[in-house]
Structure 1
Amino acid sequence: MWGWSYGGYATAAALAFAPELFKTGVAMYGPADLDAFARIPFTDSPLWRQRVGNPQTEEGTALLKAQSPFHHLERIGGPLLLTTGSLDERVPQEQVDAFADALAAAEKEVVYFYYPNEVHDYREDGSWISFWAIAEPFLAKTLGGKVEPP
């Protein structure tokens, strides 16, 4: 599975909550800990608290953690490629760092890299070229395909 932003969350969630259906994932600048994500200015709003969960209540915190791949590392079965930008204001790099570190500590297969000076949606051609140069061999390895020469 592959996704960015919410799709990055959905990718990590698919590997955590339906590992029998998904062999690998590529999650680009996606939140993995909804409780932490709900506490940043970008998502701290009445609408978010109503629709997703309120981190200011015990019930809301429990709901957010229950839906967070970060809090279910033991269930993640396949390798995961994570990427983010250091200037991302929607999903701060620190949150992706924490997820990558937690996966590694849980001895899960993770490849993680970040782009300095990139925001939530990469703007530099070089970032995309680099990303594809990493993603293609990752997918070939995890899915059993081949890598095309440059």
Structure 2
Amino acid sequence: MTKHKRKSGPFQFMQFSVIGVANALIDIGALNLLLILFYTDDRAMLLLYNTVAYTLAIINSYFWNARFTFQHTAKGSNRQRILFIIQAIVSLGVNNLVFIGANALMEVIGIPNWLRYNVAKGLAMFLSFLASYFMIKYVVFRRKKGKN
């Protein structure tokens, strides 16, 4: 029997969510800072800004989730790092797709720029957060069968 009981279920999701709030602050903060410093309405530049903001948040996510949320299964192996990068790229794709898609939809219905960027970013963060959690839990830091 191992010394530490594996964290899972609601407590693990709660830890992931707390770290997710910090990631969200980094993500939306970086996006808004870029928009304040270098305002644009160009979709390609918005995509670049969103990618930079999301990348900063995902680096923070890896650091804290590997040390706390998934500490009993995070080995820091090359395999886990590669899987984490793959899930980050998939989550970034979800994030960018939702951000640009929601932004375009809200533009058509006439929502002001600042509001639509932030609402689109919030929706993108939420959906990529869910995708990321399940990929990290069941692919990146999954527990090997037969281990308690």
**TM-score, structure 1 as length reference:** 0.26
Q: Name the larger-Rg structure.
A: 2
Normalized per residue, the structure richer in helix is 2
Normalized per residue, the structure richer in strand is 1
**TM-score, structure 2 as length reference:** 0.26
